[in-house]
Amino acid sequence: MCGCQLDMRSASFLLNQTRAIRLSSMHCIRELRELNGQDIALVGGKAASLAEMMRANIPVPPGFVVLADADLTCDEILSAFDRLNVSIVAVRSSATVEDAPDASWAGQFETYLGVTRDGLVDAIQRCRDSAKSARVNAYRAEQGADNSTIAVAVIVQAMVDADAAGVCFTVHPVTKNPNHLIIEACLGLGDKLVGGEISPDSYIVDKLTETIIDVQLSSTAQVLSNDALRDLARLCKRIEDHYGFPCDVEWAHVEGSFSILQSRPITTL
């Protein structure tokens, strides 16, 4: 039985690798909507997760992925930007080692927000180059990752003009209560929150009853209304139920709706 399972896993891995090689030879970019959660070898963990959520009808901003071995003079990159029909985008890494169950690599690679068409190729190159930074090299050594197994694709997504943003842990990371999720929220974009530069509002919500159990404010007024908190809790529980494990979710709120920017396993439980 064990040998059979091993053979099946090996066959699945080889199939995904073969698909990645075939697709990468055809294009220098791939649209997120064309991908799925099995495409980690092709576009990295973050992009594959975004694509899987899109397929599950989770609200994710539209975008595309520049493959790790793509020639940045490729006309497809700017053509894909034009198809987004936006003036600015977010540029983020999607390495083959990111968002793994045992190591998230959160914050190791650079992200660039508000990137214009003229600055796109440069931002993609800088995002790739961040994989060679001292910070990444130190983390790589700590995780015991082999340089030869790390490839960095780059996600290009329409910027969300967020009035609020933050993170949600679908299991409380401190108490480890599986019925409590914790939401952290700040006004505007969430980059300063994720980077630890500001103190957010913090809310604890019961996943089963949607009761707001605890509220810790960073100022005099809540960043999110109680109704918005319940909507977000419901959405993040959908994501957890889809994946079947506790998730660390990055979100943005604009004009009464939520967009999901990233979801990865919680690695600290």
Rounded (to 5) percent helix, strand, coil in the chain:
40, 25, 35
Radius of gyration of the chain (CA): 19
Q: What is the SS3 assignment for 134?
A: helix
Residue pair 8/1 in contact by the 8 Å Cβ criterion: no
Pick 3 or 237 by higher pLDDT.
Answer: 237
Q: Residue 6: what pLDDT? A: 42
- pLDDT class of 105 with cuts at 50, 70, 90: low
Identify the architecture of domain 28-158 in CATH. Answer: 2-Layer Sandwich (3.30)
Residue 33 to residue 30: CA distance in whole angstroms:
8
Confidence bin at 181 (pLDDT 50/70/90):
very high
Cβ proximity of 47 and 29 under 8 Å: no
What was the pLDDT predicted at 237? Answer: 98
The two tokens of residue 182 are 């914790």
Residue 221 and residue 264: Cα distance in Å, rounded?
A: 30
Q: Mean pLDDT across the stretch 85-103?
A: 77
Please give the class, per CATH, of domain 164-265: alpha beta
C-beta atoms surrounding 176 within 10 Å? 12
More confident residue, 101 or 267: 267
Higher pLDDT, 100 or 163: 163
List the one residue out of 86, 216, 111, 94 whose CA is nearest residue 155. 94
Higher pLDDT, 18 or 120: 120
Judged by average pLDDT, the poorest of 38-52, 130-144, 244-258 is 130-144
- State residue 24's pLDDT score: 45
Decide if 202 contacts 174 (C-beta within 8 A): no
- The pLDDT of 140-149, averaged and rounded, is 60
What confidence tier does 78 reach under pLDDT thresholds 50, 70, 90?
very high
In angstroms, the CA 152 to CA 162 distance is 27
Q: Where are the domains of the chain?
A: 28-158, 164-265
Distance from first CA to last CA of the chain, Å, rounded? 31
pLDDT recorded at residue 199: 87
Least confident of 87-91, 107-111, 174-178: 107-111
| pLDDT surpassing 80 at residue 3 | no
Q: Is the pLDDT of residue 99 over 50?
A: no
* pLDDT surpassing 90 at residue 192: no
CA distance 160 to 252: 7
Residue 129 has pLDDT above 90, yes or no: no
The percentage of the chain sitting over the pLDDT mark of 90, rounded to a whole number, equals 62
What pLDDT does residue 141 have?
60
What mean pLDDT do residues 80-98 have?
Answer: 90
Three-state DSSP state, 190: coil
Distance between CA 16 and CA 32 in Å, rounded?
17
Residues 127/92, Cβ–Cβ less than 8 Å: yes
Structure tokens at 264: 């990865």
**Residue 193: per-residue pLDDT:** 73
